[in-house]
Amino acid sequence: MTEWWAESIGIYDAAGAASRLSALSGVLTALKQAPLGIAIFDRDMRYLAASGQFLIDQGLPGDMPLIGRLHYDVFPEIPQRWRDIHRRALQDGEEQSHEADPFLRTDGRVDWIRWSVKPWRAESGEIGGLVLYTEFVTPSVESRLSLEAAEARYRAVFDQAAVGVARVSPTGRFLEVNDRFCAIVRYSREELGDMSFQEITHPDDLESDVEQANALLAGETETFAMEKRYLTKPGDPVWTNLTVSLVRDNSGTPAYFVSIIEDITARKEVEEEQRHYQRQLRLLNNELNHRVKNTLATVQSMAAQTMRSEPDPSAAYEKFESRLLSLSQVHDVLTRESWHGAGLAEVAERALEPFSSLSSGQIAINGPVVWLQPGAALTMALVFHELATNAVKYGALSVDTGRVDLEWNLDPEDGLLRLKWVESGGPPVAPPTRKGFGSRLIERGLRGEFHGSAVTEYHPSGVVCTMEAHLPQDPGPPGMFAEP
């Protein structure tokens, strides 16, 4: 066989042929035992030599005789494109290679081959054939493709997740963020790439966030979750539900945090509305309890005054019944939230009528025409009712000789309404030892609905209450129970 190979390459009749054949035999033996897939062909693509590994890679017995056989007879399934590559190498001397070329076998399997084709030349310089180097890299290519597919799946999940996802360095710098994270905090990827989570965390939440992140780094916990606020690029806070875990490298060193955030601002707003509603409900219950007690005291005082001033039982009954009806009208005002508005004078008259007839001269009302929106009318009715109740119980209206003067004026330029309640002719007045619920109700009502104020002075001659109110420009819900 060595002689046939020598004839193929044109050295059999050269001087020193015996020594050359001996050397050639050694080369062929070494080639056959090479750990790589190597095959050498003549110009007709007949085998001159092949390594055992080449045969094994092709699924052939390692000792199968190939010398002198046509490559395309041994492997008839070789595609035309490879035949063209062989032809160009033999005709034009073109060298070609490929790092991972797919090869479809007859059984449907796909192998990936790293190969190179290079022509070899005789001593005369003419192309004598070609050398084919092959290496099956199917495992490494399949591993790479599997990794790329996994990375693609990860990227798809990362980018298209309905929650915000970020990779954050152990120092807090953003390494990678998805679109949803950017949408929640309203920063671009590029902007966040130059920032840390500490920079966009609300100051009130930063200490807790950093403390729990440090616990992760120290290995004290594996993950943590918290509700926190980020400061968006426009400066508005956004509530999020944050879950954080830590990824470590093979040596156990912290590599990066994985932070997942969900926008819960809407839920937080609903919760705050519910808390606000609960506060309003508690205040309403307290006010209702206080109002019932005051109503009973007012009824009792009206009954006593009526009986003292009217000896005729029939006449006393009629007066008492009239005052009760007037009192019920005040309660109508208090409950009519759909009211379209009322004049301040009408509100005062209806609120004060149950406590003393305006024709009796005990109560005098004076002021220009002022139109109140529904919420403002309700608030002023409550304020007048409270002042009159105190006057009936302790002040000028508790005696027949007492008097109340209510007057107001309005600055048309700034909409500031100034009111003054002045009591006189009643029993001596002393400042209370504590501020009662009624006084707080008056102050809160003016502050909540009108952004105003109330100052009560206790002169010996009688109570003087000075009030200021900024009239609202637009209709709105009653503000009596708004938080200060």
**332 and 428 together in one domain:** yes
Q: How many residues does the chain have?
A: 484
**280 and 258 together in one domain:** no
**52 and 166 together in one domain:** no
Q: Is 357 a domain residue?
A: yes
**244 and 280 together in one domain:** no
pLDDT for 479 equals 42
pLDDT for 134 equals 87
Residue where a domain terminates, one of 137, 171, 205: 137
**27 and 77 together in one domain:** yes
**14 and 114 together in one domain:** yes
**192 and 341 together in one domain:** no
d(CA 301, CA 362): 15
Yes or no: say if 327 and 333 are a contact pair by the CB < 8 Å rule.
no
434-473 tens-digit pLDDT: 776 567 778 887 888 788 999 999 998 999 999 999 986 5
**284 and 371 together in one domain:** yes
Q: Is 287 a domain residue?
A: yes
Using CA atoms, how far residue 54 sits from 37, 108, 150, in Å, is 4, 21, 33
Q: Is 321 a domain residue?
A: yes
**255 and 285 together in one domain:** no
Question: What is the CATH classification number for the domain harbouring 208?
Answer: 3.30.450.20
**49 and 165 together in one domain:** no
- Name the amino acid, one letter, at 180: R
Q: Which residues in the chain land under pLDDT 70?
A: 1-28, 154, 156-157, 284, 287-288, 290-299, 301-310, 315-316, 318-341, 356-359, 436-438, 472-484
229 phi-psi bin (left φ>0, alpha ψ -120 to 50, beta other):
beta
**465 and 330 together in one domain:** yes
Please tell me the number of Cα atoms within 13 Å of 25 on its side-chain side: 10
Pull the structure tokens for residue 104: 């479809």
- Domain boundaries, position 276: 272-470
DSSP class per residue in 245-298: EEEE-TTS-EEEEEEEEEE-HHHHHHHHHHHHHHHHHHHHHHHHHHHHHHHHHH
Q: Which of 85, 88, 80, 87 is nearest to 134 (CA)?
A: 85
CA torsion sign for 423, 426, 430, 436 is negative
pLDDT for 472 equals 64
Q: Is 478 a domain residue?
A: no
Alpha helices for 174-256 (secondary structure H): 179-185, 189-193, 197-200, 203-217
Q: Is 147 a domain residue?
A: no
d(CA 241, CA 199): 18
Number of structural domains (the chain) is 3
Q: Is 148 a domain residue?
A: no
pLDDT for 31 equals 76
Q: Is 145 a domain residue?
A: no
**54 and 133 together in one domain:** yes
Q: Is 240 a domain residue?
A: yes
Question: Other C-beta atoms within 10 Å of 54: how many?
Answer: 25
- The model carries a pTM of 0.43
Question: Other C-beta atoms within 10 Å of 444: how many?
Answer: 20
